Amino acid sequence: MQGIDLTYSPPLAAGWFFKFIIMKFSKILSFCTLFAVAYSCVTTYPPDIERVLKQAGHNRGELVKVLEYYRRNPADSLKLRAAEFLIANMPGKHSVYVDAPWNDQATVFLRWTSSSDKQRVIETFKLGEPVVEDDVTHITADYLINNIEMAFEAWRGRPWGRHVTFETFCEEILPYRISTEPLENWRAKVQAGFADLDTFLNRPTMTAVEACSRINSIMPRFSIDTDFPTINYSQCMATTRGSCDNIAAVTAFVMRALGVPVTVDFVMRWAEHNSGHSWNSVCDSAGRHISFMGAEYNPGQPHLGSYRLKSKAYRRIFAYNSELVARNRNENDVPPIFQDVCMTDISDEHPACVDLNITAKELPPDSVEYAYLAFFVREQFRWEICAYGYIDGDILRFPKVGKGIMYRPFYYVQGRLTPAAGPVLLDSDGTVNDFRPSSTLADIEVNCIEQPEEFWTARMVGGTFQGANEPDFSDAVTLHVIPRKPVVGWNSAPSDSRLKFRYVRYVSPKDGVGNVAEIEFLDANGRLLQGNPFSPFAVWRGCTGAKAFDGDPATFFDALEVSGAWTALDLQQPQAVSRIRYVPRNEGAAICSSPAFELHRWGDGDSEPQEVVPDANGILQLRLPENQLYYLSNKSIGRKGHLFTVRDGKMEWL
Contacts of 157 (CB under 8 A, 6+ apart): 202, 259
Per-residue pLDDT tens for 41-80?
Answer: 457 899 999 999 999 999 999 999 999 999 999 999 999 9
Same domain, 152 and 262: yes
Phi and psi based region of residue 300 (left: phi greater than 0; alpha: psi -120 to 50; beta: remaining): left
The pLDDT > 70 percentage for the chain reads 87
Please tell me whether residue 540 adopts helix, strand or coil conformation. Answer: coil
Same domain, 174 and 289: yes
Q: Which domain does 250 fall in, by range?
A: 92-308
Q: Are 169 and 158 in contact (CB under 8 A)?
A: no
What are the b/e assignments for 255-271, b being 16+ CB within 10 Å?
bbbbbbbbbbbbbbbbb
Residue 496 vs residue 57, higher pLDDT: 57
Same domain, 290 and 179: yes
Same domain, 477 and 532: yes
Give the integer Cα–Cα distance in Å for 394 and 409: 12
626 belongs to a structural domain = yes
pLDDT band per the 50, 70, 90 thresholds, residue 330: confident
Of 628, 575, 623, residue with least CA distance to 600: 628
Per-residue pLDDT tens for 420-442?
Answer: 999 999 999 999 988 888 889 99
Same domain, 556 and 602: no
Please tell me whether residue 391 adopts helix, strand or coil conformation. Answer: strand
**What integer pLDDT is reported at residue 17 of this predicted model?**
38
Please tell me whether residue 269 adopts helix, strand or coil conformation. Answer: coil
User: Among 551, 583, 615, which residue terminates a domain?
Assistant: 583
86 belongs to a structural domain = no
Per-residue pLDDT tens for 248-279?
Answer: 999 999 999 999 999 999 999 888 777 899 99
Same domain, 423 and 542: no
**What integer pLDDT is reported at residue 208 of this predicted model?**
98
The pLDDT > 90 percentage for the chain reads 59
Task: Determine how many CB atoms are found less than 10 A away from the CB of residue 542.
Answer: 8
344 belongs to a structural domain = no
pLDDT band per the 50, 70, 90 thresholds, residue 110: low
Please tell me whether residue 567 adopts helix, strand or coil conformation. Answer: strand
User: Among 583, 606, 635, which residue terminates a domain?
Assistant: 583
68 belongs to a structural domain = no
Contacts of 618 (CB under 8 A, 6+ apart): 447, 448, 449, 450
* Domain count within the chain: 5
Same domain, 559 and 520: yes
Same domain, 105 and 145: yes
Same domain, 35 and 107: no
Give the integer Cα–Cα distance in Å for 582 and 562: 20
Same domain, 148 and 294: yes
Give the integer Cα–Cα distance in Å for 553 and 591: 7
Q: Which element (helix H / strand E) includes 168?
A: helix 166-172
Same domain, 516 and 567: yes
Please indicate, yes or no, whether the overall pTM of this predicted structure exceeds 0.95: no
pLDDT band per the 50, 70, 90 thresholds, residue 572: very high
Residue 559 vs residue 33, higher pLDDT: 559
Adjacent-strand bridge partners of 224? 242
Average pLDDT, the chain: 86
75 belongs to a structural domain = no
Same domain, 97 and 226: yes
**What integer pLDDT is reported at residue 146 of this predicted model?**
98
**What integer pLDDT is reported at residue 109 of this predicted model?**
64
**What integer pLDDT is reported at residue 143 of this predicted model?**
98
Residue 149 has phi, psi (to 5 degrees) of -60, -45
Q: Are 568 and 545 in contact (CB under 8 A)?
A: yes
Give the integer Cα–Cα distance in Å for 447 and 278: 37
229: pLDDT strictly greater than 90: no
**What integer pLDDT is reported at residue 243 of this predicted model?**
87
112: pLDDT strictly greater than 90: no
